[in-house]
């Protein structure tokens, strides 16, 4: 198989900012509580007339520009999202149309906050193969629309944004070395939107107001994430025959600074070996990993030849990691 890697990377955050102090005027919370419990200070919120597909398009344009490619060069679009424009059809198809890459395949992946690491693995299996020279893998979320803004346990945690990568054939020794992906459907209720699907339609007898919004068992998420993060990192390195000492940077899902610190401690690594930007953007769910990777590159923390591990964990339950040589 051809070696496939990231040849272009882009991120887009909507311009509107919402601070912890802004939340103090909406729910019973404080900057001190949010900062201590999550590490978050600011998050970006999309304007009312902006959709998940619009954020994705902007991130894709920047990734294509970074790769020196045009929309017409794209052979496949894979969108990781758990906040689609509409329940159906595919939001990836909407992105394809808005981007102008009319002669390509497009489909969605929903692995919630682990969406992009799953999509990257799928995209790498296509890129470089006959008919799929260039594959766009994008994570895009507008969680501000699926949150209950009166639920202080969840509404302060999330922000909106998108990140995208162009996958193409690269020279041997570079690219995606491998992935490790896992799921446990017995925990599907830990993070969910209970209503709106066929199990509980909005007009069903069992529907109650509030079931249409994102819900999360915070303690269960903590117990899961602090184990899943280091497990995914170790497992992908075992799979590709590398060890922790070779890794230049670990880029985790930006869920919570305390989860990241606990996970890095579980790996026996200092925080200097990871990258965080959740203080600026909050938890952008399936978009957080590519956004963070773009910023880590911009800050000169990683570059050509760097061994990077991307790791994510979230609803499903789903978790996994990718090992990449840039």
3-state secondary structure 175-223: EEEEEEEEECHHHCCCEECCCCCCCCCCCCCCCCCCCCCCEECHHHHHH
Class of domain 177-325: alpha beta
Question: Can you give the pTM of this predicted structure?
Answer: 0.97
Angle at 112 between CA 109 and CA 118, to 5 degrees: 50
Do 157 and 38 meet the contact criterion of CB atoms below 8 Å apart? yes
Name the segment(s) of the chain with CATH classification 3.40.47.10.
4-172, 177-325
Sign, CA torsion 283/305/309/322: positive
Do 100 and 71 meet the contact criterion of CB atoms below 8 Å apart? yes
Cis peptide before 47 (omega within 30 of 0): no
State the DSSP H helix or E strand holding residue 312, giving kind and residue range, or none if neither.
Answer: strand 307-314
Residues 6+ apart with CB under 8 A from 314: 111, 112, 113, 114, 115, 191, 253, 255, 285, 286
Do 323 and 177 meet the contact criterion of CB atoms below 8 Å apart? yes
| Residue 38, token pair as written in the block | 């999550």
Catalytic residue among 104, 113, 118, 134: 113
* Secondary structure class of 117 (helix, strand, coil): helix
Number of other CB atoms surrounding residue 305 within 10 Å: 10
Catalytic residue among 253, 256, 277, 322: 253
Work out the angle between the directed axes of helices 257-267 and 218-240 (0-180°, nearest 10).
40
| Residue 240, token pair as written in the block | 């590709």
**d(C-alpha 116, C-alpha 121), whole Å:** 9
Backbone φ and ψ for 169, nearest 5 degrees, come out as -70, 135
Fold of 4-172: Peroxisomal Thiolase; Chain A, domain 1 (3.40.47)
**d(C-alpha 249, C-alpha 45), whole Å:** 28
In 3D space, the residue among 306, 292, 324 whose CA is nearest the CA of residue 139 turns out to be: 292
Number of other CB atoms surrounding residue 110 within 10 Å: 18
Do 290 and 9 meet the contact criterion of CB atoms below 8 Å apart? yes
| Residue 302, token pair as written in the block | 């990683």
**d(C-alpha 319, C-alpha 326), whole Å:** 22
Catalytic residue among 118, 256, 277, 283: 283
Question: Is 113 among the catalytic positions?
Answer: yes
Do 138 and 164 meet the contact criterion of CB atoms below 8 Å apart? yes
Q: What's the number of CA atoms in the CB half-sphere (13 Å) around residue 270? A: 2
pLDDT tens string for the chain (326 positions)? 689 999 999 999 999 999 999 999 999 999 999 999 999 999 999 999 999 999 999 999 999 999 999 999 999 999 999 999 999 999 999 999 999 998 999 999 999 999 999 999 999 999 999 999 999 999 999 999 999 999 999 999 999 999 999 999 999 999 999 999 999 999 999 999 999 999 999 888 889 999 999 999 999 999 999 999 999 999 999 999 999 999 999 999 999 999 999 999 999 999 999 999 999 999 999 999 999 999 999 999 999 999 999 999 999 999 999 999 99
In 3D space, the residue among 122, 102, 118 whose CA is nearest the CA of residue 4 turns out to be: 122
């Amino acid at each position: 198989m051809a070696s496939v890697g990231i040849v272009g990377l882009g991120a887009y955050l909507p311009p509107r900012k919402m601070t912890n102090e802004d939340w103090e005027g909406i729910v019973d919370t404080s900057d001190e509580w949010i900062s201590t419990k999550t590490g978050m200070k600011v998050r970006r919120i999309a304007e009312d007339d902006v959709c998940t597909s619009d954020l994705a398009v902007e991130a894709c344009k920047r990734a294509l520009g970074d790769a020196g490619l045009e929309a017409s060069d794209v052979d496949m679009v894979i969108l990781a999202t758990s906040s689609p424009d509409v329940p159906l059809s595919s939001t990836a198809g909407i992105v394809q149309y808005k981007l102008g890459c009319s002669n390509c395949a497009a489909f969605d992946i929903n692995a919630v906050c682990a969406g992009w690491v799953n999509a990257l693995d799928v995209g790498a299996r296509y890129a470089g193969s006959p008919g799929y020279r260039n594959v766009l893998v994008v994570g895009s979320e507008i969680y501000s629309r699926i949150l209950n803004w009166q639920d202080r346990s969840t509404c302060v945690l999330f922000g909106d944004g998108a990140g995208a990568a162009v996958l193409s054939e690269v020279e041997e020794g570079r690219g995606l070395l491998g992935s490790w992906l896992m799921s446990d459907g017995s925990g599907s209720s830990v993070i969910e939107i209970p209503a709106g699907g066929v199990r509980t339609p909005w007009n069903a007898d069992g529907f109650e107001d509030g079931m249409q919004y994102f819900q999360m068992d915070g303690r269960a998420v903590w117990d899961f994430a602090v184990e899943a993060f280091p497990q995914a990192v170790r497992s992908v390195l075992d799979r590709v025959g590398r060890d922790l000492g070779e890794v230049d940077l670990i880029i985790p899902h930006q869920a919570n600074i305390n989860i990241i610190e606990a996970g890095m401690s579980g790996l026996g690594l200092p925080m200097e070996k990871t990258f965080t930007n959740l203080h600026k953007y909050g938890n952008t769910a399936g978009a957080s990993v590519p956004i963070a990777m773009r910023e880590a590159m911009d800050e000169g923390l990683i570059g050509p030849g760097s061994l990077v591990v991307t790791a994510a964990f979230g609803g499903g339950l789903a978790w996994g990691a990718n090992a990449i040589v840039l």
